[in-house]
Amino acid sequence: MKILVITEQRQGKWNNTSFETLVAAQQIAADTSSAVGALVIGKGVANFTEDLAGKSIAEVLLVEHDLLESYTPDGYSLALLQVIASSKPDLVLFPHTYQVRDFAPKLAAMMGKGMIADCVGFHKEGDKVVFVRQMFQGKTVADVTFQGPSPWFASFQSGAFRADLLKAHPSGKAPVNKIAVELKPEQIRTKPLDLFKEAKSSVDLTQAPVIVSIGRGIKAPENIPQAEALAKAIGGEMAASRPICDEGWLPMERQIGSSGQTVAPKLYLALGISGAIQHVVGMKGARTIVAINKDQNAPIFEIADYGIVGDIFEIMPALTAALEKAKT
């Protein structure tokens, strides 16, 4: 089987989830004796191929065109359609980014194919690759397979695979091949204008890969900075159970639970949260759950992967320190 990973970059910087998808591709390839290719698309992006050529893949494809300088769904779909026609991959993989959501289903549909999007993993059953995705906001999981002949299109959720497990090229470098594509200005219907950054007026916890959440155990708002320091050290977003938001110690948009957000991050750290069902339904889809609570019978431990029965005021600073140390 031939696997092609479509990587993503913007304004001269990698979207690192591209590497996570490459890891997924390498793992699928190992299980199915397949070859992996990685593709860079845009204009003036040849330098990105270097990072990919050093990895354990069969080839790097470079697709450049004036009309691909800025991303547009029409541009990317039409260009990649031509690449797939000539390169004939069996499985086309994407990281599940906002950009991929915008064009990848269209690309698949143009070939009469359906896409299995936002997968959290895969496994092999016999000779079929089974893709795993969540439904009902993480409350249920579905094993999905493709029907019909290739090419097949799938995307992986951010954090589903670890980028640092990427295997380096064993001997030298993978070859970089240019693929020419034809695009006409009238084919590009939307016109991309300025890109700008805004202090986000609201936080989308559903997109956070790591969440540090506080409960009643935090006792007073003066103690929250300790949790925030921990969140900073671990690269996570702050969240809370209901009572904290009710008191106004954190804004309502940070509330996790049946009356707040439902999240399924790769890591959820529950500090001083008892684990009432109203909270648990909002986060039990998280891949790894760490619970710290001084009550060993707290229901949160029933769903935790790792548990510490202890005083959060001792554990929080210790954890922050250990994380800083691990960074060095």
Partner 1 sequence: MKIIVCIKQVPAKDAPLSIAGNWIKESDIGFEMNEPDSYALEEALRLKEKHGGEVVAISMGPERVKQTIKEALAKGADRGIHISDDQFAQLDPLSSARMLAEALRKENADLILTGLQSDDHGFGQTGVLVASLLDLPHATIIMQIEVQEKNMRLKRELEAGWFQHIECPLPAVLSIQSGINKVRYATLKGIMAAKKKEIASITRESLGVRSEPTQKIENFYVPTKTKKTEFLTGTPAEMATKLVEKLKFDARVI
Partner 2 sequence: MTVQREQLEADVLIVGAGPAGLSCALHLANLIKKHNEAGGAAGGPALSTENIYVLEKGREVGAHQLSGAIMNPKALAELVPDYKTSAPLDTSVTDDAALFFTKNSSICFPLTPPPFKNKGNYVVSLNKIVKWMGGLVEAAGVNLFTQFGGASLIYEGEGIAGVITEDKGVDKNGKPKANFTPGYELRAKVTVLAEGTRGSLTKQLVEKKNLANINPQTYGLGIKELWDVQPGRIQPGFVAHTLGWPISTDMYGGGWIYGLSNNRVSIGLVVALEYSDPRFDPHAAFQQWKTHPFLKKILDGGKLVRYGAKSLPYGGWYAMPRNYLDGGLIIGDSGSFLDSQRLKGIHLAMKSGMLAAETIFDALKAGDTSAKTLNAFPKKVEQSYIKNELWQVRNFHQSFQHGLLTGLFQTGLQFISGGRGLIDPMRNHEGYQAYKKLDRLAAGAARTEPERFKGDGKLTFDRLTDVYHSGTRHEEDQPCHLIVRDLNVCATKCVVEYGNPCQYFCPAAVYEMAKDSNGRPKLKINAANCVHCKTCDIADPYQIIDWVVPEGGGGPNYEGM
Residues that bind partner 2 (CB under 8 A): 246, 252, 258-259, 276-278, 281, 299
Neighbours of 126 (CB within 10 A): 6
Pick the stretch among 31-39, 83-91, 215-223, 285-293 that binds partner 1 (CB under 8 A): 285-293
Residue 140, sorted as left (phi over 0), alpha (psi -120 to 50) or beta, turns out to be beta
- How far lies 315's CA from each of 64, 249, 292, 303, 323, in Å? 51, 21, 8, 20, 12
E strand or H helix at 285: none
Q: What is the dihedral of CA 204, 207, 209, 212, to 10 degrees?
A: 20
- Tell me which of 37, 159, 215, 272 binds partner 1, using CB under 8 A: 159
Q: Which does 276 bind (CB under 5 to 8 A by kind): partner 2, partner 1, none?
A: partner 2
| Least distance from partner 1 to the Cβ atom of residue 227, Å | 14
| Least distance from partner 1 to the Cβ atom of residue 209, Å | 8
Nearer to partner 2, 150 or 278 (CB): 278
Applying the rule CB under 8 A, the residues between 178 and 237 that interact with partner 1 are 189-200, 202, 207, 210, 234-235
How many whole angstroms separate alpha carbon 294 and alpha carbon 274? Answer: 9
- Tell me which of 33, 147, 297, 328 binds partner 1, using CB under 8 A: 147
Contact flags string 72-91 toward partner 1, x per CB under 8 A: -xx--x--------------
First to last CA, the chain: 41
How many whole angstroms separate alpha carbon 137 and alpha carbon 120? Answer: 13
Neighbours of 224 (CB within 10 A): 18
**Applying CB under 8 A, does 141 fall inside the site for partner 1?**
yes
Nearer to partner 2, 246 or 305 (CB): 246
The encoded tokens of residue 327 equal 């960074």
**Applying CB under 8 A, does 121 fall inside the site for partner 1?**
no
Applying the rule CB under 8 A, the residues between 238 and 277 that interact with partner 1 are 258, 266-267
Determine the distance from the C-alpha atom of residue 235 to the mean position of all C-alpha atoms in its chain, rounded to a whole number: 14
**Applying CB under 8 A, does 287 fall inside the site for partner 1?**
yes
CB 54 within 8 A of CB 168: yes
Angle at 294 between CA 291 and CA 297, to 5 degrees: 80
| Least distance from partner 1 to the Cβ atom of residue 75, Å | 12
Contact flags string 160-179 toward partner 1, x per CB under 8 A: --x--x--------------
Q: Which does 307 bind (CB under 5 to 8 A by kind): partner 1, partner 2, none?
A: partner 1
CB 115 within 8 A of CB 105: yes
**Applying CB under 8 A, does 102 fall inside the site for partner 1?**
yes
Count of residues of this chain found to bind partner 1 when the rule CB under 8 A is applied: 86
Nearer to partner 1, 175 or 235 (CB): 235
